[in-house]
Structure 1
Amino acid sequence: MRAARGVIFDCDGTLVDSEPLSALVFAEALVAEGLSITPEAALAAFRGRRFALCVQMAEQMLGRALPADFEPVLRERTAQAFRERLQVIEGAATLLEGLHLPFCVASNAPRAKTELSLTLTGLRHHFGERIFSAYDVGSWKPDPGLFLHAAGAMGLDPADCLVVEDSEAGVMAGVAAGMRVVAVLPEGRPDWLPAGVPALDGLAAVRAHL
Structure 2
Amino acid sequence: MRYDLVIFDNDGVLVDSEPISNRHLAAYLTELGHPTSYEDSIRDYMGSAMHRVHDLVLERTGQRLPADFDDVFHARVFAAFERELKPVAGAVDVLEALTARGVPYCVASSGSHERIRVGHRTTGLDRWFDDARIFSSQDVGRGKPAPDLFLHAARQMGVAPERCVVVEDSPLGVRAALAAGMDVVGFTAMTPAERLSGAGELFSDMGELIGLLD
What's the TM-score once normalised by structure 1's chain length?
0.93
Structure 1 stretches of at least 4 aligned residues deviating more than 4 Å after TM superposition: none
Instruction: Report the Cα distance in structure 1 between the residues aligned to 2:189 and 2:74, rounded to whole angstroms.
Output: 27
Shifted more, 82-91 versus 49-58: the winner is: 49-58
Instruction: Report the Cα distance in structure 1 between the residues aligned to 2:29 and 2:15, rounded to whole angstroms.
Output: 24
Residue number among 195, 199, 205 corresponding to 2:208 in the alignment: 205
Structure 1 letter corresponding to 2:37: T
Question: Identity over aligned residues, as a percent?
Answer: 38
Aligned to 1:121: 123
Aligned to 2:154: 151
Cα distance, 1:38 vs structure 2: 1.4
Q: Does 1:68 align with 2:71?
A: no
Aligned to 2:104: 102
- Gapped runs of 5+ residues in structure 2? none
Q: Does 1:34 align with 2:33?
A: yes
Aligned to 1:186: 189
Instruction: Report the Cα distance in structure 2 between the residues aligned to 1:73 and 1:110, rounded to whole angstroms.
Output: 14
Q: Is the 8 A contact 1:200 1:206 kept in 2?
A: yes
Q: Is the 8 A contact 2:139 2:149 kept in 1?
A: no
Instruction: Report the Cα distance in structure 2 between the residues aligned to 1:51 and 1:110, rounded to whole angstroms.
Output: 9
Say how many residue pairs are matched: 209
Cα distance, 1:64 vs structure 2: 2.0
Residue number among 126, 138, 142 corresponding to 2:141 in the alignment: 138
Aligned to 1:21: 20
Structure 2 letter corresponding to 1:165: E
- Gapped runs of 5+ residues in structure 1? none
Instruction: Report the Cα distance in structure 1 between the residues aligned to 2:143 and 2:166, rounded to whole angstroms.
Output: 15
Instruction: Report the Cα distance in structure 2 between the residues aligned to 1:62 and 1:22, rounded to whole angstroms.
Output: 22
Cα distance, 1:195 vs structure 2: 4.9
Residue number among 160, 166, 169 corresponding to 2:169 in the alignment: 166
Q: Does 1:53 align with 2:52?
A: yes
Question: RMSD over aligned Cα, in angstroms?
Answer: 1.7
Task: Note the alpha carbon deviations across 1:68-117, whole angstroms, 9 max, x for none.
Answer: 22221111111111111111100001110111200000011111110111
Q: Is the 8 A contact 1:104 1:130 kept in 2?
A: yes
1:74-93 paired onto structure 2 within 5 Å:
74-93=73-92
Instruction: Report the Cα distance in structure 2 between the residues aligned to 1:195 and 1:56, rounded to whole angstroms.
Output: 25
Q: Is the 8 A contact 2:49 2:110 kept in 1?
A: yes
Instruction: Report the Cα distance in structure 1 between the residues aligned to 2:66 and 2:140, rounded to whole angstroms.
Output: 27
What's the TM-score once normalised by structure 2's chain length?
0.91
Instruction: Report the Cα distance in structure 2 between the residues aligned to 1:121 and 1:49, rounded to whole angstroms.
Output: 22
Q: Is the 8 A contact 1:10 1:165 kept in 2?
A: yes
Instruction: Report the Cα distance in structure 1 between the residues aligned to 2:106 and 2:203, rounded to whole angstroms.
Output: 20
Instruction: Report the Cα distance in structure 1 between the residues aligned to 2:201 and 2:79, rounded to whole angstroms.
Output: 34
Of Structure 1 and Structure 2, which has the larger fraction of its residues in helix?
2
Q: Is the 8 A contact 2:169 2:187 kept in 1?
A: yes
